[in-house]
Structure 1
Amino acid sequence: MNREQAAATAVDSRIVLVDDHAILRQGLRSVLDREPDLEVVGEAATRAEARAVADAARPDVMVIDLKLSGGSELEGLSLCRDLAAAHPEIALLVLTTFLDERLVVEAVQAGARGYVVKDVDTRELVSAIRSVTRGQSAFDPRTAVAIVQTLAHGPTEDDLTARELEVLRLLARGHSNNGIGEKLFISPTTVKFHVSNVLRKLGVRRRAEAAYEASKRGLI
């Protein structure tokens, strides 16, 4: 491809990096700064910072690690849901150390257009960013296999979503529906819906039984 063809196919992309490790953000920035069509316009280390910079910078793409501030991967999934709801025009690309079939599918369900693992070749990462900028999906070969395998097996009755796991863990700590709603910033009605799904999927009828069953399965 000559220079004129490259210019014609170039996609200008404004990017925000979301990772709780500054050194990793710096490394990513140094890689992306070498690409003339990619520009890093912001960084964030926490879920709150990511929401704020999304509001302020209005980037084209946000590259997001699932595990933020020493928390669980659920925090990154929740951030994807927040951003997908508030800024559907922003392409979300998960870049994380976790290669897990269920996480890949949940990330997509949470609004991510792509999912790549941190040890991916830098050329593949740049290609993934350009793909999601154009509205396409982007997965490295391993995550693509994970999605295919999960779809082939199909969902099972007791697969809990990321949000249902969050609700379950708070339920097990004795929080009421109102208390869970306050912590997760969702309405008590929504909490009741999730609790009903949790009870059904765990095959129990009461909240205490759900906590016991979840403990046996290692979910909490």
Structure 2
Amino acid sequence: MIRVVIADDQALVRTGFRMILDETGDITVAGEAADGLAALTVTAATGPDVVLMDVRMPGIDGIEATRRLRAAAEPLSPPHVIILTTFDLDEYVYAGLRAGAAGFLFKDTLAADLVAAVRTVASGQNVAAPTVTSRLIRHFVDTAPRPADTAGLGVLTVRERDVLGLVAQGLSNREIADRLLVAEGTVKTHVSRILAKLQLRDRTHAVIYAYQNGIA
């Protein structure tokens, strides 16, 4: 069972998301919060797998709350955070990803997409609203430039570079496996090795790295 905390200052939004998630057989809403501070408190008390975090809330906003959740020493496995926003170019979205969020969704996302996103991030992958994924990554790269690390690419095998390029295109492990005609477990191993060799935190940062270094 995937446990979720919903943090949003609008009761209607929280109620709507709860109704959608409660209709599934594998997701349960462990708690709700109306501001960032409450989100931290509820998360500490319930230990969810995923937090749906509104970006703009009273007091501690969703960005700072995400940063604190992901940086906390306890729990040892902090929850995955999905940033909720109403604007596809909202500057806070990018700050949220830097803070460690697993991705972002629009508040008016379809019910099926919300459920799929929760399941995806609970499995350790990242999500983003499909219509703005490319702009999201390009904006992230443009606003957080750093020197290209082409020398670092030398530690990757040819297959690992291929996998990194496909990750940067937004493909899931299953889709990459189908593209390369290998087992999904093999792709997971490649991704883990890529992150370790390049000292990257997660798939989101792997995509950014790929764009910055000309692979995508």
TM-score category of the 2 structures, normalised to the smaller one:
0.5 to 0.7
The answer for unaligned runs of 5 or more in structure 1 is 1-11, 158-220
Q: How much has 1:29 moved relative to structure 2?
A: 0.4
Residue identity over aligned pairs, in percent, reads: 34
Is residue 47 from structure 1 mapped to residue 36 from structure 2 by the alignment? yes
CA distance in 2, matches of 1:15, 1:43: 9
The residue number in structure 1 matching 2:71 is 85
CA contact (8 A) 1:102 1:150 kept: no
The residue number in structure 1 matching 2:2 is 13
Change (3 A) 1:151 1:85: closer
Instruction: Read off the aligned partner of 2:109 and give its amino acid letter.
Output: V
Task: For residue 54 of structure 1, give the secondary structure of its aligned residue in structure 2.
Answer: helix
Structure index of larger Rg: 1
| Matching of residues 187-198 of structure 1 within 5 Å | none
Q: How much has 1:96 moved relative to structure 2?
A: 1.7
Change (3 A) 1:101 1:84: same
Q: How much has 1:149 moved relative to structure 2?
A: 2.4
CA distance in 2, matches of 1:82, 1:40: 21
The residue number in structure 2 matching 1:149 is 138
CA contact (8 A) 2:55 2:93 kept: no
Task: For residue 67 of structure 1, give the secondary structure of its aligned residue in structure 2.
Answer: coil
CA distance in 2, matches of 1:154, 1:55: 32
Is residue 68 from structure 1 mapped to residue 68 from structure 2 by the alignment? no
Structure 2 residue corresponding to 1:115, chosen from 100, 104, 126: 104
The answer for unaligned runs of 5 or more in structure 2 is 147-216
Q: State the Cα RMSD in Å.
A: 2.0
CA contact (8 A) 1:101 1:150 kept: no
| Matching of residues 112-191 of structure 1 within 5 Å | 112-151=101-140, 153=142, 155=144
User: Could you report, residue by residue, the CA deviation over 1:101-157 in whole angstroms, capped at 9, with x for unpaired residues?
Assistant: 643322111010010111211111111100000000011113312223215645369
CA distance in 2, matches of 1:26, 1:94: 17
Task: For residue 32 of structure 2, give the secondary structure of its aligned residue in structure 1.
Answer: strand
Instruction: Read off the aligned partner of 1:136 and give its amino acid letter.
Output: Q
The residue number in structure 2 matching 1:216 is none
Task: For residue 17 of structure 1, give the secondary structure of its aligned residue in structure 2.
Answer: strand
User: Could you report, residue by residue, the CA deviation over 1:71-115 in whole angstroms, capped at 9, with x for unpaired residues?
Assistant: 6xx821111101111244211111221322643322111010010
CA contact (8 A) 1:15 1:40 kept: yes
CA contact (8 A) 2:69 2:78 kept: no
CA contact (8 A) 2:82 2:102 kept: yes
